[in-house]
Amino acid sequence: MLTPPRFVVLDDKKEHLGPIIETFKLIGSSCIGVQYNEEDESHLCQDYYKGVRGLFIDLNLSGRSSIGHNTHYAEIIRILESVISSENGPFIMILWTDNPQECSNLIQYIEERLDPEKKYCKPLLIKPLSKTQYIDKNSNIKVDTSENLKDEIKGFFSSVPQIAALFDWESKVLEAVNQTLIELINLVPNDKRNFNDYPSEIDKVLSCIARETVGKGHVATDPKKALNLAIYPILVDKILNNTPDQANIQLWNNAITQVGSASIADEKAVGKFNKMLHLAVTGHESMSPYDWGAVVEIPSEIFNDEFCLGHFGYNQNYLIKNTFCFNSTEKLRPILIRLGASCDYAQNKQGPIPYIFGFVVEAEKYHERERDFLDPDKKFISKKLSDWVSPLFSYRDEDPAFYIVLNLQLVISKVKGQLDSYQTLYRLREQLLNQVIVRATTFASRPGINELYVR
């Protein structure tokens, strides 16, 4: 519920934590200090680092400069691998050192020694910061240097435009969240803004919004989702339309410069881009086979002739070879994707739930089919008008890239409970899901006419 700190300073000397914390106070942001403790290793508590964007760390954490540079570097890597998880997100590191060359050496050491399975532990940037330049012998900020220290710290986060843009985007999203919260609280009448009435009045605001979004009978199913459905368009609008100043516009102009030249040739890299845009995966959220856009795998023991005949009117072999034009079941995973109107899903309406049938197809298998379509010796194989193909996706590095191939004619109905044993693989995000829904609806309702031709 509480937002973790974005800036963390780690030092073996407790008195050296203060100057950085004080400087962030002058900047108008929060920073926590963590004392390095070689005995109980309390500094390795992950909770301190969950939201870190700037990690200030002393090079000589043990207090002994004679033990060798590599030992210091190894300890920093050990700390990173212990406290930074794949859920952390990007961060930069500022190294307490009077020798800028130490940063270059540390970067090389990290590149060579960091666990290849923990690339997420690697900072986007490492910059040096001198203790002796800013901290006096009493561990206070030196007189007349506080503004310079503040400017240097701010400069670390703006020195590389692309990294600065990422952090700026996060900052602007948080601003939009704050503005949205203000709008919600402003719905409480002025005469009710007192300590006694606040809880019930906020409850009233949230209840009214949730009820009018999904209907009175459906709020209890998932109150948070009901509120999110109402609030997220407001939040997105604020993110898109908050007015940037000229410096912010210039930052983004400097950050995005390869629009005319950038290209990505690697299949899996392209698949990862598309996955981020259009495919939500299990792990970050709980998914049900009945969620809007859920991609549900049909178990192999169920996907047989009986299933195909009962739902589509022809056997499995005909479905695969004639309808989808694949030569075998190899590298195909049969799926159903939950369709329907968004309002029906939001209001948790009872009754039949529409699903469209298709396959998750490994990229190699898909390209083989495309070559068959172009082969003059295989004229009997032709792509159907009812064919729909997703963008290329890639999820795990060890798994092949894949497409989702659907047939717009094969829409079936299920009711809650029938798919409880099915595995939910992914969820189509709204943009791609809406395209499938519109294409399926348009295909089902396409008009035809009678027409004679002169022969």
Cα(389)–Cα(363) distance, integer angstroms: 12
Distance (Å, whole) CA 122 – CA 112 = 11
CATH number for the segment(s) 7-159: 3.40.50.2300
**Tokens 């007189």, residue located:** 143
Instruction: Name the amino acid, one letter, at 91.
Output: F
How many other CB atoms are there within 10 angstroms of residue 408's CB atom?
21
**Angle between helix 146-158 and 17-27 (nearest 10):** 80
Q: Could you list the mean pLDDT of each consecutive 10-residue stretch along the chain, which spans 455 residues?
A: 88 91 90 93 94 93 68 94 93 93 94 94 95 88 89 93 96 95 95 95 95 85 89 94 92 95 90 94 82 94 94 94 91 94 62 93 94 79 88 91 96 92 94 94 83 85
Strand partners, 333: 360
Strands 54-58 and 7-11, by their bridges, are: parallel
Mention every residue, 6+ apart, whose C-beta is less than 8 A from residue 66: none
pLDDT given for residue 83 in this prediction:
96
| Residue given tokens 């348009």 in the structure block | 442
CA separation for the pair 220, 230 (Å, rounded)? 15
Q: Return all residues near 326 (Cβ < 8 A) that are at least 6 apart.
A: 320, 332, 359, 361, 365, 369
Confidence (pLDDT) at 213:
86
pLDDT at 362: 96
Alpha-carbon separation of residue 55 from 18, 58, 171 (angstroms):
15, 10, 17
- Residues 57 and 93: their CA atoms lie apart, in Å, by 7
Q: How confident is the model at residue 139, as a pLDDT?
A: 86
Question: Which sign does the torsion angle of CA 262, 268, 273, 277 carry?
Answer: positive
Residue with tokens 């952390």: 88
Nearest to 367 by CA among 399, 336, 392: 392
Any idea which residue has 């909770």 for tokens? 47
Single-letter code of the amino acid located at 275:
K
| Cα-based torsion angle of the residue sequence 403, 302, 424, 393 in order, rounded to the nearest 10 degrees | -10
- For residue 10, how many C-alpha atoms fall within 13 Å in the half-sphere facing its CB? 27
Give the start-to-end residue ranges of the domains of the chain. Answer: 7-159, 166-255, 267-444
DSSP 386: T
Q: How many CB atoms lie within 10 A of CB 353?
A: 23
Q: What is the per-residue pLDDT for 345? A: 58
Torsions phi, psi for 339 (to 5 deg) = -105, -150
Half-sphere exposure of 390 (CA within 13 A, CB side): 33
Q: Residue 192 contacts by C-beta under 8 Å, 6 or more apart in sequence? A: 198, 201
Structural tokens at position 218: 């459906």
Distance CA 443, CA 184 (A): 42
| pLDDT at residue 349, rounded to an integer | 63
Which two three-digit tokens encode residue 161?
A: 């435009």
